[in-house]
Amino acid sequence: MKRFFWRLYVMWLRKRGPKVAARAVLYCNEKLRLHILRAFGASIGPGTHIRTPMHIMGRYEDFAHLEIGAHTYVGPDCIFDLCDDITIGDRAAVSARCSFVTHMNVGAGSLADVYPSTTGKVRVGD
């Protein structure tokens, strides 16, 4: 019965968009969080645990830039910046409050000439 309501919730989130889904994964149930992430394009391996809260920022088209391997632990209060790919391997452990930052942008001020916007991939091995 729970999965039925989860499907309805994901359908509602799809209508609202990925930005609302990013807020939904912040404090929801762990299994529902994995279900939402997969529904929006993230690749999450079996046996993976992602603790609450989980912050997603950056690109809000989908969560396809996120790939987490099997049997991986992600501690609470981690930040995932999905402007570029974030790959975490199998059987990895990510401590609490880690930040995966994939872009740099100083805004539209005078520093933009010196430091242009850049993106880059983040990879954590097995």
3-state secondary structure of 30: helix
Report the chain's mean pLDDT, rounded to a whole number.
Answer: 93
The H or E element spanning position 104 is: strand 103-104
**Looking at residue 10, what is its pLDDT?**
92
Residue pair 74/50 in contact by the 8 Å Cβ criterion? yes
Taking only the tens place, the pLDDT of each residue in 62-89 is: 899 999 999 999 999 999 999 999 999 9
**Looking at residue 113, what is its pLDDT?**
85
**Looking at residue 82, what is its pLDDT?**
94
Model confidence at 3: pLDDT above 90: no
pTM: 0.90
Give the span between the Cα atoms of 13 and 30, in whole angstroms. 17
Q: How does DSSP assign 38-79, residue by residue?
A: HHTT-EE-TT-EEPSPEEEES--S-STTEEE-TT-EE-TTEE
Other residues' Cβ atoms within 10 Å of the Cβ of residue 95? 11
